[in-house]
Amino acid sequence: MLTFDQIKELIELVADRGLEGVEIERSGFKVKIEGRKVEIRAATTVQPEPLAVALAAPQVSASAAEPVAASEEAVGESVPTVPDDSTLVTSPIVGTYYAAPNPDAASFIRVGDRVELGQVLCIVEAMKLMNEIECEVAGVVVQIFPKNGQPVEYGEPLFAIQAD
């Protein structure tokens, strides 16, 4: 069950962020807070992202829509530079990058390691499923882009491999 202060905080959050609303159900207790729709310059309605609220430490992630040009610029800046003759291995799914099979184990690969076709390079966890990412080419690992435990997006570069 939510406390009065937590409910009040949710109401203020919906109002401050201009969200359409939030609905939370916990142990048979259900709270639905409705806000107002936000209009953008182009007169389109912004649909809010689903909110997740934890009782111990409420953290809400919501963002206003950004212009398309700004999004494209951000993507352009995040693309790493790699040698022309190397292959870029990208994430096939959205999830969390793990360099090793478990926290106590050694990393699957390191920069400078030789890798073979089909060799496991890392794990990307998505919705509690551990997905092994396999090597697409044989060669030498030139660069590893994400850090262990870092969220990765679909198509985000994971490794640069100097193909044989």
Domain identity same for 111 and 151: yes
**% the chain with pLDDT above 70:** 69
- Structural domain includes residue 138: yes
19, 68 in Cβ contact below 8 A? no
Residues in the chain: 164
Domain identity same for 34 and 90: no
Question: Domain containing 17: what range?
Answer: 1-62
Whether the predicted model's global pTM rises above the 0.85 cut: no
Domain identity same for 113 and 149: yes
Instruction: Give the count of domains, the chain.
Output: 2
- Structural domain includes residue 135: yes
Q: Quick one: pLDDT at residue 37?
A: 52
Domain identity same for 116 and 159: yes
- Structural domain includes residue 69: no
- Structural domain includes residue 77: no
Domain identity same for 101 and 153: yes
Can you point out the beta strands (E) in the chain?
Answer: 21-26, 29-34, 86-90, 95-98, 114-115, 120-126, 129-134, 139-144, 151-152, 157-163
Regions in the chain scoring below 50 on pLDDT: 38-46, 48-77
148, 122 in Cβ contact below 8 A? no
Indicate the pairing of strand 151-152 with strand 95-98: antiparallel
List the Cα angle 43/47/53 in 5-degree steps.
145
